[in-house]
Amino acid sequence: MRILAVLALLAALSGCGALPGEGPSAIGITSEEISAQGSSVPTGSESYAVVSIEPSNIDVIKAYRPLAFSNQFRGVGSGGGSSALLGVGDSLQVKIFEASREGLFSPGDSDSTLVPAVIDETGHVFVPYAGRIAAAGLTVEGLRASIEQKLVGKAVEPQVLVVVADKQSSTAVVVGDVGKPGVYPLPVRQTRLLELVAVAGGPRAATYETVVTLKRGPRSGTTRLEHLIDYPENNVLVAPGDNVLLSHRPRTFSAFGAVKANQLVAFKTKSVTLAEALATVGGLNDYRADAGGIFLFRFEDADLVRALKPELAGRLSGGEQVPLVYRLSLRDPQGFFLARFFEMRDKDILYVANHPTAEFGKFLQIIAPLISNVATVNSSFFDD
């Protein structure tokens, strides 16, 4: 019977690799081959890279600036600002001065008349005694000269002043979680995205919980509103016809494995470090956690991956999003300082692997009933 018990124990040990668990062990998360240059990087676990968080690379990770948003709006035709040319829908104030108080535009004691005008759908504007004048496509000075020329011989030495009251031919739309959604005319001077959001009343929620999406023709880009401030390169110029959407989207990260609480955690401040994230979920589980197996899963820009792992430079093309796994060890006290400088991002996945002895503990729990039964049988046999 004792031989049978030993055989049963060996059979159980052979199946130890199939023990239930919450995720892979630390040794099971290893660097895989990245797909060949020119092909897309799969989103599955068959293609990812592992980077250890160390003093030699923490500064590279901290200093990297994601500029994917601004890159979407570079190139010809993507500049910002309203055109200096007049267009359909523009409201004008035309003021006509005369040298004599007895002229057509000098009523009473005044030497001038203010004529409001709007450029119609055909691109023309109507001025009394001057008739319909083509205005769309002209500058303010060009229209002023045209009106003045039309009034020669009808008014007494006319002088014309043209002021743009409302430039409705160049507008941008701001909608969503913003204080004052609506259509906003763009001034002739260049206007940046953050300025337009401010004119529209700003976001209703905190900036670090607000996402801004800019749609310009076939181009579209999305970024956190705070990134327009943190990274000025992302604060692109607004162009006529742009559509801007502000959305309230709180940031979160997920925690799994040998932590005291597996949960989805919302960011409660603008920035959250890896150390703060671990503290939020109660820290490591004393009985299960592998202090050397703390992993963070996220997608990183190919440029950053090339800087962290130069050996992969030839296999990555620009603009790719590469699955990357950061590994941190808290067995060395230095790891606590590194965790303090590593910042979490939206949708990060934090995983703490089980220690190998924890897996052995699971195995003992599984075979404990078997050992108890064998002992009971042996006791009965020898009693008989």
Torsion 229-231-233-234 (CA) sign: negative
Kindly give the pairing relationship between strand 243-248 and strand 171-176: parallel
* Residue range 43-67, pLDDT digits in tens: 444 478 889 999 989 999 888 876 6
| The pLDDT of residue 191 | 87
Any idea where the domains of the chain sit in the sequence?
Answer: 26-33+47-63+251-360, 68-73+170-248, 85-166
What average pLDDT does this structure show over 217-229? 89
pLDDT at residue 42 is higher than 70: no
Residue 170: band (very low, low, confident or very high) from pLDDT cuts 50, 70, 90: confident
Helix, strand or coil, per DSSP, at residue 92: strand
> What value does the mean pLDDT take over residues 194-223?
92
pLDDT band at 210 (very low <50, low <70, confident <90, very high): very high
Does domain 26-33+47-63+251-360 correspond to CATH entry 3.10.560.10? yes
Burial class (CB in 10 A: 0-12, 13-18, 19+), 348: buried
User: Which numeric CATH code is attached to 68-73+170-248?
Assistant: 3.10.560.10
pLDDT at 193: 93
Higher local confidence (pLDDT), 361 or 52: 52
Taking 60 as the threshold, does the pLDDT of residue 364 lie above it? Answer: no
Q: What is the CATH number of domain 85-166?
A: 3.30.1950.10
Beta strands in 143-239 (DSSP E): 159-166, 171-176, 182-185, 210-216, 219-224
Q: What pTM, to 2 d.p., does this model score?
A: 0.67
Per CATH, 26-33+47-63+251-360 and 85-166 having the same topology is answered no
The pLDDT of 182-197, averaged and rounded, is 88
Write out pLDDT tens, residues 284-315. 988 888 888 899 999 988 888 888 888 877 77
The mean of the pLDDT values for the chain is 80
Q: What phi-psi label fits residue 253: left (phi over 0), alpha (psi between -120 and 50 degrees) or beta?
A: beta
| pLDDT on residue 110 | 77
Residue with tokens 């250890």: 52
Residue 372: its H or E element = helix 356-383
pLDDT band at 142 (very low <50, low <70, confident <90, very high): very high
Q: Phi, psi at residue 11, to the nearest 5°?
A: -65, -40
Does residue 79 have a pLDDT over 90? no
Q: From CA 206, how far away is CA 225, in angstroms rounded? A: 9
pLDDT of 357:
72
